[in-house]
């Protein structure tokens, strides 16, 4: 026994470094605070993009120890300058995540206390906070109190949960798969296609509905295709609408689609990952009429509420369908269940091990209130309008007026090489890197895309973007002239 005790004590001495002393913790905090302040204070001074086409060296793991100071230095040198600056206001190429500082505080508290937000039995307080955020979301989108919700890592998992529940509600399995039909827009986010494949519906029939001039679902065609499929002995099953597409910022006619879904007994799913929270803007509310008709809805607080990456949400009206798909019991979990307990987040999600995400939404809303979030969203709408007007002033063409804060543009050329010209312009913009933009192909045309949603994107950001675009345009024209 004594030998056993000696071995245990020896291992305790080695492992005790995993619990830093108060003095060490204070030193760590000071270094981290210095890093955070420097990062935020200089965020607008750094480029928004630096293209790297090779693996980053010097970040491998080995058994050597390093000081936190050295590690922060390594992070500053190897991670922060490369690729997109996702916390900066200059990231207006893809739909940005936020990086709200008060959410970082919430994550720190959640990680230090290590609350388990999967089961009420394990952490009643944490699960209550998770469920209260869901209750708030129900109010925002006018969903009934009986709705089941879950906070996820993002829109992909949120959509997966919703589509899985729909599949099980309608018992789409076996031979029924090849006769069932899902109706989509070509503008639907690609995570919908991934979800369909992951849940075993790769062989289902997918009907793409054409779009109108503003890239919204053509409801007349939707009705027609559903009727044709019914007449042909097929089984329409689901229609997916978008509350803000990622390519053009369009909100589909949600109410019309909802009526069609109701009349044909379809599961109505709305992907509002990007645009859903614009419902908080008074002058945009009418766009979202009908969102409450959805059987399931996905939104991303890490987009429209500016939280750090890893915060999605799903609302589903059919509790039985969700529980059938995701609830499972095990003998070792028998203590965690009882009558009249609140919903366990782990019972309505693929995740049993679950990060305490609710705190990163709950705490900022408690500290700031809702008003500054709404102001930020309204500001992004106006900045998009301002950007488009500035682009027109310097000779660019722009796409149709967007519903929200995503748009696109291109430079017109008299020759037949317009796409090639804009591709070259895009490469120069990426090489410059002051502001990050992306490209897309719309109606077989190469276009440059803007997505304004970061809470740090301001008028000065757009002015810098215009200055960069003009510089790159002048450079490209000079290069072409030299080549000719």
Q: What is the pLDDT of residues 46-91, one digit of tens each?
A: 999 998 888 899 889 888 889 999 999 999 999 999 999 999 999 9
pLDDT of residue 340: 59
Which domains does the chain show, CATH number per domain? 107-368 (3.40.640.10), 371-483 (3.90.1150.10)
Closest residue by Cα to residue 409 from 420, 429, 395: 395
Neighbour-count burial of 223, counting CB atoms closer than 10 A to its CB (0-12 exposed, 13-18 middle, 19+ buried): middle
Kindly provide the b/e burial profile for residues 98-119, where b requires at least 16 CB atoms within 10 angstroms of the residue's own CB: bbbeebbebbeebeeeebbbbb
268 pLDDT more than 70 = yes
Q: How far apart are CA 231 and CA 190, in angstroms?
A: 30
pLDDT of residue 333: 47
The percent of residues above 70 in pLDDT, for the chain, comes to: 96
115 pLDDT more than 70 = yes
Radius of gyration of the chain (CA): 25
Closest residue by Cα to residue 247 from 418, 448, 411: 448
Residue-wise pLDDT for 195-231, tens only, equals 899 899 999 999 999 999 999 999 999 999 999 999 9
Closest residue by Cα to residue 183 from 226, 152, 144: 226
Band of the pLDDT at 339, cuts 50, 70, 90? low
* Averaged pLDDT of the chain: 92
Band of the pLDDT at 114, cuts 50, 70, 90? very high
Band of the pLDDT at 353, cuts 50, 70, 90? confident
Tokens of 42: 């200089």
The values of phi and psi at residue 207, to 5°, are -105, 125
338 pLDDT more than 60 = no
The answer for residues whose C-beta is within 8 angstroms of residue 172's C-beta and 6 or more apart is 180, 201, 204, 237
Residue-wise pLDDT for 126-161, tens only, equals 999 999 999 999 999 999 999 999 999 988 999 999
Using alpha carbons, list the distances in angstroms from residue 97 to 32, 67, 101, 428, 429: 22, 30, 13, 25, 21
DSSP H or E run through 135: helix 124-140
Question: Degrees (nearest 5) of the Cα angle 225, 228, 231?
Answer: 150
The answer for residues whose C-beta is within 8 angstroms of residue 113's C-beta and 6 or more apart is none
Mean pLDDT calculated for residue range 419-432: 96
pLDDT of residue 481: 79
pTM: 0.93
Tokens of 208: 């793409």
Mean pLDDT calculated for residue range 379-404: 97
Q: How far apart are CA 73 and CA 68, in angstroms?
A: 8
pLDDT of residue 58: 87
Q: CB-side exposure of 387: number of CA atoms within 13 Å?
A: 33
480 pLDDT more than 60 = yes
Query: For residue 243, what is the DSSP state?
Result: B
Q: Give 330 or 17, the one with higher predicted confidence.
A: 17
421 pLDDT more than 90 = yes
Residue-wise pLDDT for 281-295, tens only, equals 999 999 999 999 999
The percent of residues above 90 in pLDDT, for the chain, comes to: 79
DSSP 213-226: TTS-B-HHHHHHHH
444 φ/ψ sector (left φ>0, alpha ψ -120 to 50, else beta): left
């Amino acid at each position: 026994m004594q030998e056993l005790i000696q071995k245990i004590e020896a291992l305790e001495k080695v492992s005790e470094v995993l619990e830093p002393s108060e003095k060490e913790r204070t030193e760590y905090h000071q270094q981290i605070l210095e890093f955070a302040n420097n990062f935020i204070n200089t965020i607008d001074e750094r480029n928004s993009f630096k293209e790297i086409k090779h693996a980053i060296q010097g970040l491998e793991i080995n058994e050597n120890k390093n000081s936190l100071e050295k590690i922060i230095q390594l992070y500053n040198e190897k991670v922060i300058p490369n690729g997109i600056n996702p916390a900066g206001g200059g990231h207006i190429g893809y739909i940005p995540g936020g990086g709200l500082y008060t959410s970082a505080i919430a994550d720190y508290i959640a990680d230090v206390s290590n609350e388990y937000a999967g089961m009420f039995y394990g952490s009643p307080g944490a699960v209550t906070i998770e469920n209260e955020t869901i209750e708030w979301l129900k109010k925002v989108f006018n969903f009934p109190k009986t709705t089941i919700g879950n906070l996820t890592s993002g829109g992909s998992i949120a959509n997966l949960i919703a589509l899985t529940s729909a599949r099980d509600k309608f018992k789409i399995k076996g031979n029924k798969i090849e006769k069932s039909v899902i109706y989509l827009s070509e503008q639907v986010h690609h995570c919908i296609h991934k979800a369909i494949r992951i849940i075993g519906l790769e062989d289902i029939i997918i009907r793409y509905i054409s779009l109108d001039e503003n890239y919204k679902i053509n409801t007349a065609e939707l009705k027609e295709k559903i009727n044709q499929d019914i007449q042909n002995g097929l089984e329409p099953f689901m229609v997916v609408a978008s509350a803000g597409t990622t390519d053009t910022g369009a909100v589909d006619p949600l109410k019309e689609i909802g009526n069609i879904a109701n009349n044909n007994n379809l599961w109505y799913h709305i992907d509002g990952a990007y645009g859903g929270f614009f419902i908080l803007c008074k002058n945009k509310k009418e766009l979202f009429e009908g969102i409450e008709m959805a059987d399931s809805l996905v939104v991303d607080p890490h987009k429209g509420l500016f939280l750090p990456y890893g915060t999605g949400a799903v609302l589903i009206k059919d509790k039985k369908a969700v529980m059938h798909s995701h609830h499972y019991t095990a003998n070792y979990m028998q203590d965690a269940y009882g009558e009249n307990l609140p919903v366990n987040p782990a019972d309505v999600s693929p995740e049993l091990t679950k990060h305490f995400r609710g705190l990163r939404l709950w705490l900022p809303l408690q500290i700031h209130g809702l008003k500054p979030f709404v102001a930020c969203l309204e500001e992004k709408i106006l900045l998009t309008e301002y950007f488009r007007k500035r682009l027109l002033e310097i000779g660019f063409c722009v796409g149709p007026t967007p519903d929200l804060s995503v748009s696109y543009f291109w430079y017109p050329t008299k020759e037949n090489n317009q796409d090639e010209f804009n591709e070259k312009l895009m490469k120069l913009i990426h090489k410059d890197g002051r502001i990050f933009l992306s490209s897309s192909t719309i109606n077989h045309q190469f276009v440059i895309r803007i997505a304004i949603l970061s809470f740090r994107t301001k008028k000065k950001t757009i002015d810098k973007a215009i200055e960069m675009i003009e510089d790159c345009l002048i450079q490209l024209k000079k290069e072409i002239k030299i080549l000719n």
